[in-house]
Amino acid sequence: PWLNAVLRLITAFAGVWGFSVLFNSPQRMCIVAGIIGAITDTLRLTMTDFGVAAEIAAFSGALLAGLLASAWRTIVRHGLAPQYLGYPRIGLTVPSIVIMVPGLYMYRAMFYLGQFHTLPALDWTFRAFMVIICLPIGLAVARVITDKSWRYDV
């Protein structure tokens, strides 16, 4: 189990770092996003290993990504980290949750659709849709929890 967790941390870091590079982020920002993504994606995968539904695990991972990004901004704002490491929250959270998009579910949906098995295709499409919907909801809940002024912006 420990080796599995370490390998997940490493590969999740590499994946999130790669998405950050694709978004043309500075290297330091890619590293911070990679650390946040490594923690949150490893949590999500561990939760699914313990039998938690993929939707709840995705929501929890996205919620933790939002909370960690807000915590990072607070650390920088209070001078516990250098000011040049103060990055926008969205620049840290989006690469962290892109890796949680269920590509296998979408692949299975397209596979069954190509085989003209419509019921399994719809089942996998709906599962993928539910996971994809839970990701921004987790980020929004984290923002509501951590940003008092955002709740009242109209």
CA 145: distance to chain centroid? Answer: 17
C-alpha closest to that of 37 among 3, 14, 71, 5: 14
What pTM did the predictor assign?
0.91
Per-residue pLDDT reduced to its tens digit, 85-142: 999 999 999 999 999 999 999 999 999 999 999 999 999 999 999 999 999 999 999 9
Which structure tokens are listed for 38? 């490594």
Assess contact for 58 and 135: CB atoms under 8 A: yes
